[in-house]
Structure 1
Amino acid sequence: MAGGLKVLVVGGGVAGPSLALWLARLGCEVVVVERSAQGRHTGQQIDVRGYGVDVMKKMGIAEKVKERVVREPGTLLVDRDGKHRAYFPTREDGRGDTSISSEYEIMRGDLCEILWEATKDKVVYRYGVRVKGLEQVDEGVKVSFDDDEGKPEVYDLVVGCDGVRSATRKMMLGEGAKDPFCPTGGAIAWVTIPTEEGDTRDFVWYASPGKRLMGSRKDRDDCLRAYFITSGLPEDHPIRTTLRSGDIMEQRKAWAAHYKGMGWQSDRFTREVVESTLADDFHASETGQVKMERWYEGRVALLGDAAYCPSPAGWGTAMAFVGAYVMAGELARHCGLSADAGEIGEEQREKARKAIPDALKAYDETLRPLIVKVQKVSRAGEGLPSSRFAISMFLAVMGLVERLKLDRLMMRLATGGGSDFGWKLPEYAELGVENDEK
């Protein structure tokens, strides 16, 4: 007898452990390598919507997530004086896709911890390890690491889940290949700062001339999460140049300079982003999308932001869940795998190995129509208002939307007719989820 397929997953954030959960159910021998010295159970607030909720239920983690959601009453829009201009409450209806604030709002670190708890007993996690080389050979993929644990190891499949700047993607495409990350000229940053009296648990947003958005969320009583989003930045703008340099304090100063004096809480937020000790968790990145002709090469594949980052308007977590589900389902279908099937014989394992490229092709063809639509919708909302008049008109319209209770319709229009994007989530009986978690 022999074990199942031997799979290396690169990246221990959301996409990697999600795929590992499914593959472990299929009897695969899964190793997750993560460059961080410990689990990446950190990060700011994220949401799960639409298909992501459906898949989360199939994974069996929806109730765990619900136990740890951020209780965010709704989304509040304010003007430069802090005056309330529009408010949209969170509506909980079991799908989490009918209001601006989702039913499934959760801190990224909490979600990562839930995924780790669900996989740690069936998956091997190796921290502080980077992949330094991939070589496709007859028997699989020969992988070399940067640690000193021994010779290169051969895996049947390698999946890069290592983010928008994926090193796995670079190795898969080969030296000299064009980077498929397409920057939009914008950037986003988030940071933790001290809370003050009057801070609300609503998701608060303020828009200022110069294509600048600033927001806040409060998932805990002892701190506030500040958000900054901007667009239309030239190549030599300090925000973009400091992002390339990697100097975190210089980044913090660049963001503070760009937002100082813009109204609402800007003076407080820009002061704290530089001075507060809580701001040590500051993180910033360029906004953009990853666009590739295909997400696999031989027995190496990409998943999540590494393959199809949909920013700037979100959907990353949901698409990581859906991508992991589709990849696992197509591997099961093409490779003759099934949940709880136990060990397989060497002959069956060899057949499964040979079918991997066909499974990856099916994964690409099945998921791509959805990703194309999600990326299109995401780009549609990136043009931030640039003038005081445009902002005033926007706030007036949103106030009307609130009064007429049109926010559900607005969300449906924002996703091209609803959260399903006209795409049907496949069913994979091989994954053993006929009786989904309700």
Structure 2
Amino acid sequence: MTLFEPAPPLAERLRPTTLDEVYGQKHLLAPGKPLRRMLEGGFLSSLILWGPPGVGKTTLARMISKTAKAHFIQLSAVTAGIKDVREAVEVAQRNRTKGERTVLFLDEIHRFNKAQQDALLPHVESGLLTLIGATTENPSFEVNPALRSRARTLVLKSLTDEDISGLLDRALTDSKGLPGVELTQEGRELLVQLADGDARRALGALEVASNIASPITPEAVKEAFGTHVPSMDKQGEDFYNLISALHKSVRASHVDGALYWLARMVAGGADPIYIARRIVRMAAEDIGLADPNALKLAMSAQQAMHLLGSPEGELALAQVVVYLALAPKSNSVYSAWGEVLRMAEEERQHPIPLHLRNAITGLMKSQGYGKGYAYYFDDPEGSFAQTYLPDELLGTEFYQPTGEGWESRVRERWSALKQKHHKEKP
């Protein structure tokens, strides 16, 4: 950077270069976890990093390359093509003659079409290129199976409020950040909430707000986020209070209340795409299988908002909010999923029963994999007589359907099926 060049954005200046500077992703970076082992061991493996924006995909790719002492090539699938891939291959071939490895980081890898992804295959398979792809889209749908099979997929999560707050602390104290800038407690709380787990968004808003007011107040944060932030009313209700009011009105089947809080958010300038995301969450969390069409309609409203934009798309949001408020309610799947996920993450990992395992090789068959498995379409009674949980969990019931709406029929069927799964009882 020369005297006359603008400074890089705050998010770029504070990009982590060591593990101690990384916020979030403890499930990958805690001691003994996959990325931690890779970074500390300095070894390379092709990866697909799947996660929302601003959670550190590019940062981790650079750190992996640096610790492995590999040459780093960064491309964006938005602008790159096969010609750029060929040039990267040529660089990698020259590096190989010098005993140097090459990492190709392909951002937005889902933007590459099948032919472009296929062009990477032979070079990834031969080890000439170590591919690290980053995507916000589900790789199962957007990345070719052949390429996925040659790369391990790691899921990155949105940063927590605690992570974002720690990042703000660093930005306000680091010499490369904004030392000396003051942030009020109210301004901090609003900024953390509106960052929505996105480090880049948080730092970008902080930098803009620092040029608006000192110390940084909620009003400055609001202005920094622009139309993505709804206005506060005289009682001080902020964005997440409005979301809470909308969600609780839908849950309580109060149509007028739900419409009012939706209108308050839209009129206040809230991002309608974000509202649509939250409405999809409401359909899954509070309506669930009481009305399976609720989730479909919520997804359709989100797509309509993408297609039409404001103000036309807002009518689709209003329509789905009314539908969700009127729909029967059930959180049985939400509750079951929370409990089973907690058990899977926190408790000891129970072994998979042999008859449920996949016998791919002769060795596996000799170890009893798949032995005694009763295929439902050949032997329905035998299939029902088998166990489908680890022995330690037999008799455990996670899903408890309600009598609401369509789920009343589900409850009847599930009750009948449990009678057939007699060996699942303790």
TM-score normalised to structure 2 length: 0.24
Q: Which structure is larger by alpha-carbon Rg, 1 or 2?
A: 2
Q: Which has the higher strand share?
A: 1
TM-score normalised to structure 1 length: 0.23
Relative contact order, higher structure (CA 8 A, sep 6+): 1
Q: Which has the higher helix share?
A: 2
